[in-house]
Structure 1
Amino acid sequence: MCLSVPAKVIEIYADEWRAKVDYLGSAKTVGIGMLDEVRPDQYVLVHAGEAIQIIDEQSALESLHYWKEVLEL
């Protein structure tokens, strides 16, 4: 089974293949090469260090709520 966690895009790096994201309160660098036109303030699903899908804010926030509950954050 594979899991992905929503992350908010903070910054797109100049190489346009990587982005800084807020990943459950931590800043992480993830690959964005599999997605078209990722922009700051969008939410993406991250799996194994790669953004695999752009998702809407409401879905991301709902999912983050459950992740925080499970992880007791």
Structure 2
Amino acid sequence: MIIPPPSSMQIAAATWTKSSYSASNNECVETAVFPSWTAVRDSKFTSGGPKLVVTSQAFTALLTGVADGSL
């Protein structure tokens, strides 16, 4: 069963988590986790700014690639 991506209303109401590697100058990445999907945004654009929504599997692959140096 394919779960559709979250709606813009769900994204707006989501609980966003700031990266633990974020600097104190607000140049950070934030994520919101949904069933089967992860949304990513720049913390400078919290209201109405662009968000990237990818499958949780793709987000995990991205993090793995960054961590192991393959990306």
- TM-score bracket, shorter-length normalisation: 0.3 to 0.5
Higher helix content, 1 or 2: 2
Q: Which has the higher contact order (CA 8 A, sep 6+)?
A: 1
TM-score under structure 2 normalisation? 0.38
Higher strand content, 1 or 2: 1
TM-score under structure 1 normalisation? 0.37
Q: Computing the radius of gyration over CA atoms, which structure comes out larger, 1 or 2? A: 2
